[in-house]
């Protein structure tokens, strides 16, 4: 058996995007296993894949906020020790950032990554001993599948992306749809008024679940649920594992560009995705029956975290609830 180390720390969607590449390796190089360095908030996810043996959590985001405290508590030192513990057959920086390249340099093994022309931070490629040119305009899932195919020497598979998760998650549904209105970028928000209208339409035909992650998201979920409290349920606070179970049980999901939307696709649930400043052709959800709706603006994709024109962003305001409801109904009938 060969053991490789993966560096892919965040975010939720980016971590999920890597799983199909691991499924490809499992198919073509079944003797390969992986350890995975990931942000502590997402440490559940790599462990779900059958090719991952050990998850090494890091807390770069938290450490940046209190560097001296983290050093005093010894957390970075323990992470360093875990990275140095094994001599790996190879180390794969699948993130392509300076922070991930620095982490790869701590571990023992030959370092692989994207070519400097293929990443947002070209200096990261200076840390690799082997690098691969991959078109930056391709979808993130495809880019990672190409990278791993090149590293392990097998042809790029033409099969659909397999996250390796669908057998793990199965639950009996007590609702029809999951709505995911929350995201960290303000420019990615679909207007609350649109969510209220969509919830009214959908509640006349089935039951809706609204997960949330923080106090602001809980408040938004309660506002949406108020339109039909007997048909729209605000979920309890939940782990990523529980969220995956809910998503796998739903007939369909409506999501803005957010990590849980990618999780829905990964567990095999149809998704209507609402995209504004980002490009669904490069980072949209990938899975069976995905309908990705792009807002309207001459500047798209602008990748702006804050829209310079208004909030909510005009591009997403242009996506009418009636259009989204029609797309969701089409998924229900297998037309997506």
Q: Are 163 and 290 in contact (CB under 8 A)?
A: no
Q: How many alpha carbons lie under 13 Å from residue 250 in its C-beta half-sphere? A: 32
| The residue to which tokens 């602008």 are assigned | 302
Residue 171 is assigned to a structural domain of this protein? no
- Tell whether 311 and 195 lie within a shared domain: yes
From start to end of the chain, where are the E strands? 2-7, 32-39, 52-58, 90-93, 111-114, 130-132, 177-180, 208-210, 232-234, 252-256, 271-275, 290-294
Q: Are 244 and 263 in contact (CB under 8 A)?
A: yes
- Tell whether 234 and 324 lie within a shared domain: yes
Read off the tokens for 47: 């462990």
Question: pTM for the complete prediction?
Answer: 0.93
Residue 308 is assigned to a structural domain of this protein? yes
Domain of residue 82 covers: 2-152
What CATH number has the domain bearing residue 84? 3.40.50.2000
- Tell whether 121 and 192 lie within a shared domain: no
Nearest to 160 by CA among 334, 324, 20, 270: 20
- Tell whether 237 and 108 lie within a shared domain: no
- Tell whether 20 and 89 lie within a shared domain: yes
Residue 91 is assigned to a structural domain of this protein? yes
Last residue of a domain, one of 152, 185, 219: 152
- Tell whether 137 and 16 lie within a shared domain: yes
Last residue of a domain, one of 116, 135, 152: 152
- pLDDT, position 66: 61
Q: Are 123 and 40 in contact (CB under 8 A)?
A: no
- Tell whether 313 and 214 lie within a shared domain: yes
Q: Are 29 and 152 in contact (CB under 8 A)?
A: yes
Residue 122 is assigned to a structural domain of this protein? yes
336 residues of the chain, pLDDT tens digit each: 899 999 999 999 999 999 999 999 999 999 999 999 999 999 999 999 999 999 999 987 776 766 565 656 667 777 778 888 889 999 999 999 999 999 999 999 999 999 999 999 999 999 999 999 999 999 999 999 999 999 999 999 999 999 999 788 876 677 899 999 999 999 999 999 999 999 999 999 999 999 999 999 999 999 999 999 999 999 999 999 999 999 999 999 999 999 999 999 999 999 999 999 999 999 999 998 999 999 998 888 999 998 888 878 889 999 999 999 999 999 876 655
Helices vs strands, H then E, count in the chain:
14, 12
- Tell whether 147 and 193 lie within a shared domain: no
- pLDDT, position 71: 56
Residue 83 is assigned to a structural domain of this protein? yes
- Tell whether 189 and 246 lie within a shared domain: yes
Last residue of a domain, one of 108, 135, 152: 152
Residue 172 is assigned to a structural domain of this protein? no
Residue 161 is assigned to a structural domain of this protein? no
If one counts the domains in the chain, the total is 2
- Tell whether 147 and 181 lie within a shared domain: no
Residue 17 is assigned to a structural domain of this protein? yes
């Amino acid at each position: 058996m060969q053991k490789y180390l993966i560096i892919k720390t965040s975010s939720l969607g980016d971590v999920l995007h890597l799983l199909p590449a691991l499924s490809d390796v499992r198919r073509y190089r079944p003797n390969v296993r992986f350890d995975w360095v990931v942000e502590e908030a997402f440490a559940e996810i790599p462990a779900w894949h059958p090719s991952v043996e050990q998850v090494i959590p890091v807390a770069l985001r938290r450490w940046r906020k209190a560097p001296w405290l983290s050093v005093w508590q010894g957390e970075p030192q323990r992470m360093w020790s875990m990275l140095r513990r094994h001599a790996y057959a190879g180390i794969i920086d699948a993130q392509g950032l300076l922070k991930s390249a620095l982490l790869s340099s701590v571990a023992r093994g030959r370092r692989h990554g994207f070519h400097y022309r293929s990443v947002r931070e070209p200096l990261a490629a200076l840390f690799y001993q082997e690098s691969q040119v991959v078109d930056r305009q391709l979808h993130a899932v495809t880019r990672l599948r190409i990278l791993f195919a090149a590293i392990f020497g097998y042809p790029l598979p033409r099969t659909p992306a397999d996250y390796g998760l669908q057998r793990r998650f199965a639950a009996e549904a007590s609702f029809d749809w999951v709505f995911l209105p929350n995201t960290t970028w303000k420019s990615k928000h679909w207007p609350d008024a649109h969510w209220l209208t969509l919830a009214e339409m959908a509640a006349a035909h089935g039951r809706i679940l609204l997960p949330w992650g923080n106090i602001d998201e809980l408040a938004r979920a309660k506002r949406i649920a108020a339109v039909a409290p007997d048909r729209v349920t605000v979920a309890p606070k939940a782990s990523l594992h529980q969220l995956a179970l809910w998503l796998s049980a739903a007939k369909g999901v409506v999501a803005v560009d957010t990590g849980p939307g990618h999780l829905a696709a990964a567990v095999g649930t149809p998704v209507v995705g609402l995209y504004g400043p980002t490009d669904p052709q490069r980072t949209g959800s990938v899975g069976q029956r995905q309908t990705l709706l792009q807002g309207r603006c001459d500047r798209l994709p602008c990748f702006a975290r804050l829209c310079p024109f208004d909030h909510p962003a005009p591009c997403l305001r242009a996506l009418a609830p009636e259009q989204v409801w029609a797309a969701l109904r089409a998924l229900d009938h297998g037309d997506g």
